[in-house]
Amino acid sequence: MELGCAVLVLVMLAGLLVTGKAEIYIVTVEGEPIISYKGGENGFEATAAESDEKIDTKSELVTSYASHLEKKHDMLLGMLFEHGSYKKLYSYKHLINGFSVYLSPEQAETLRRAPGVKTVERDWKVRKLTTHTPQFLGLPTSVWPTGGGFDRAGEDIVIGFVDSGIYPLHPSFAAYHTDPYGPVPKYKGKCEIDPGTKRDFCNGKIIGAQHFAEAAKAAGAFNPAIDFASPMDGDGHGSHTAAIAAGNNGIPVRMGGHEFGKASGMAPRARIAVYKALYRLFGGFVADVVAAIDQAVHDGVDILSLSVGPNGPPATTKTTFLNPFDATLLGAVKAGVFVAQAAGNGGPFPKTLVSYSPWITTVAAAIDDRRYKNHLIMGNGKSLAGIGLSPSTHPNQTYTMVAANDVLLDSSVKYSPSDCQRPEVLNKKLVEGKILLCGYSFNFVVGSASIKKVSETAKALGAVGFVLAVENVSPGTKFDPVPVGIPGILITDVSNSMDLVDYYNVSTPRDWTGRVKSFKAIGRIGDGLMPILHKSAPQVAVFSSRGPNIKDFSLHDADLLKPDILAPGALIWAAWSPNGTDEPNYVGEEFAMISGTSMAAPHIAGIAALLKQKHPDWSPAAIKSALMTTSTKVDRAGRPLQAQQDSKTEAMKLVAATPFDYGSGHVNPRAALDPGLIFDAGYEDYLGFLCTTPGVDIHEIKHYTNSPCNNTIGHPSNLNIPSITISRLVGTQTVTRTVTNVAAEETYTITARMHPSIAIETNPSAMTLKPGASRKFSVTLTARSVTGTYRFGEITMKGSRGHKVSIPVVAMGNRR
């Protein structure tokens, strides 16, 4: 079952005000956090850096100001409430100035009215947004060699993972078969000790490991027996995402006696810093996640990979860009940290994104070029297509097929035996040496039944293989192939399943009571272990959340394109935790092949590490720009990208994809290393974007950013990012962009194309830039007709030395 990724569940307030039941609240107070404190308080010098860059968090200046902020938090609570009537969980000092606290709604109301308190927001839950891709992306041949080969790819870059922890003993994270890892002086994070083994979680490859569960404990959701009060991954999701971004190169993926290839992270030499804030059964709490992000930036990570995110309105914030998640991440970007976040798994429906802000790189999920297919060949000569990562039955032999319902030991069994989850209810003598036929019930959809268990049942009964037939299906149901150790196939097409049922019934004579006289249906299962490589890849995955982006929780459209970029996110092989229960088909396994934008985000985090290694002085915006402007909008066969859509039949429908599906396009790491031009932006630019977005409360902006508004950019569409979006184009509007040359001197010609209902012009039509130089250009859009629908276009800048930069244009013509 696919990971239900990046979805926030609101804890409803109904009834709580009456009972006064304690809850978790996130509170922000007056005064600057470390990242933006410019001095002014008696005895404390400025801690803010001059520009958007890292701060020395171990300096006396920073530690004394941090201690001062924490004392103020404690003093405020101590003055308002009796000792023991509340519990402070965290002090936030680095990116935001505030704290999280466990108290009653009445106490929260008192806090809200207290002098110096800016916001009091009730916490709400988060959930996870739930290998061949290095070759598909061209890393071994085109990218790793430029950084000294795979054994140097990502050297000394620290990627922070806010997720479900890590399984440190996995070979993907081992340090023993690589060159020794030296210290990374810039990283100040710590390693927790495993309470069971008394060994710490770090080994040089894993450079930091901490867990955050104060909010989960206060809410009574934390169970140390299965959640582990340590960075240990009790789920599988965290180990999987860390391995995708930074797992070791060339690790054999073995399951069911077969090797499916070698796994590698995008940046196999990068260091891993673990900030566990997600848990097996309940997901997580925003207070814990914000504490993890705050700590990661304080510790000095270069990149943050987030496969989690808020969705649904917080109690007080109307603006999507200012929910506590995004506001904290704005501080991270001010500290020079690149943030990759999963777009969400709400696709293929519009406005389902859970990552909103321009300072975050929002990653959509693509299907790559591998497809696993298999066939069941029946005795009547008919071949039925299905999926099954399994070996074949003996190639020159057919086997008798028996249906689970016909081989029951006791016909009075009350539950459905046809889903083959319990071998003890089936007659081993009748199944041995045959192919067992099972039914795909609703239990598989909800996760109480699994294909892994069908395989175990068949094996325990001595069957040569199994067939799992889908007899009814909801539109858009997604079936992923599951590796099994014995021949097995899932028939996903209902009409094929009906053909199998018809053949079986015709071939199986019964007496007047319905009991089988003899089993005469025969068949054989093909080899499903070899992937078929398709030129139609990449495609936008059906589950990947779609735009347009929204600026508030009333779902008004934003003048900002999301997602930003497309990366592989379907059927991704990577490390798994043997403790992991997130996927029933991979319980107890060392590897798992799963899908979700959760898998796409760490691809971008790892590729960003390669860019940061080559260009250490680039800002997060510069890295994001390089990834976006060099991305591709065509598949392997050179055709425009397509997107999977739900269909009334089992098969997915393919439609022409738009920037609302893929952002700027599918990532192209080789081109991103040398983009030619970049669109740079920083904290002040993002502040200008917030201040000019219609409907955003300027007091709310000041609450979260501690900065007065600046309207210098005039309109949110003027934010200097590599895309242009105008959600309401009335008449004519001109937007400006500034590009900076990060290569040798080059002359660029600028061309634009747009849907005929909107006229587009660029000025100038050509420009020459010396190395390091910046130049402005303008784009004028005019609505020729009012269609009430979004139209798409593109601006292309072709350089005389071979660079090509392109940015998407999105606009909707409106009446005044």
Burial 480-490 (b: 16+ CB within 10 A, else e): bbbbbbbbbbb
What is the enclosing helix (H) or strand (E) of 71? helix 60-80
User: Rounded to whole angstroms, how far apart are CA atoms 159 and 273?
Assistant: 6
Q: Give me 66's structure tokens.
A: 């941090």
User: Rounded to whole angstroms, how far apart are CA atoms 457 and 424?
Assistant: 9
163 is catalytic: yes
Residue 63 phi, psi dihedral angles, 5° rounding: -65, -35
Q: Are 750 and 765 contacting, i.e. CB atoms less than 8 angstroms apart?
A: yes
Q: Give me 690's structure tokens.
A: 């917030």
User: Rounded to whole angstroms, how far apart are CA atoms 460 and 354?
Assistant: 44
Q: Are 310 and 325 contacting, i.e. CB atoms less than 8 angstroms apart?
A: yes
User: Rounded to whole angstroms, how far apart are CA atoms 774 and 315?
Assistant: 43
User: Rounded to whole angstroms, how far apart are CA atoms 390 and 256?
Assistant: 9
Q: Give me 600's structure tokens.
A: 């796409």
Question: Which residues neighbour 692 within 8 Å (Cβ) at sequence distance 6 or greater?
Answer: 711, 713, 714, 715, 716, 718
Which residue, among 568, 563, 569, has the nearest Cα to 661 in the 3D structure?
Answer: 563
Bridge partners of 711? none
Rg of the chain (C-alpha set)? 28
Q: Give me 520's structure tokens.
A: 């005469």
Instruction: Give the N- to C-terminal CA distance of the chain in Å, as an integer.
Output: 47
Half-sphere exposure of 650 (CA within 13 A, CB side): 14
Distance of CA 386 to the CA centre of its chain: 28
Q: Give me 672's structure tokens.
A: 């991103």
User: Rounded to whole angstroms, how far apart are CA atoms 48 and 43?
Assistant: 16
User: Rounded to whole angstroms, how far apart are CA atoms 271 and 301?
Assistant: 9
Strands, E assignment, 448-516: 465-469, 488-491
Question: Which residue, chain included where needed, has tokens 């893929």?
Answer: 662
307 is catalytic: no
By three-state DSSP, how is residue 800 classified?
coil
Of 305, 598, 619, 727, which residue is the catalytic one? 598
In order of 23, 26, 211, 685, 702, the CA distances from 97 in angstroms are 20, 11, 21, 22, 12
User: Rounded to whole angstroms, how far apart are CA atoms 320 and 719?
Assistant: 17
By three-state DSSP, how is residue 53 classified?
coil
By three-state DSSP, how is residue 458 classified?
helix
Of 52, 123, 156, 163, which residue is the catalytic one? 163
User: Rounded to whole angstroms, how far apart are CA atoms 347 and 332?
Assistant: 28
Q: Is 124 left (phi over 0), alpha (psi -120 to 50) or beta?
A: beta
Q: Are 604 and 631 contacting, i.e. CB atoms less than 8 angstroms apart?
A: no
Of 94, 132, 237, 603, which residue is the catalytic one? 237
Q: Is 731 left (phi over 0), alpha (psi -120 to 50) or beta?
A: left
Distance of CA 263 to the CA centre of its chain: 19
Bridge partners of 192? none
723 is catalytic: no
By three-state DSSP, how is residue 666 classified?
strand
Active site members: 163, 237, 598
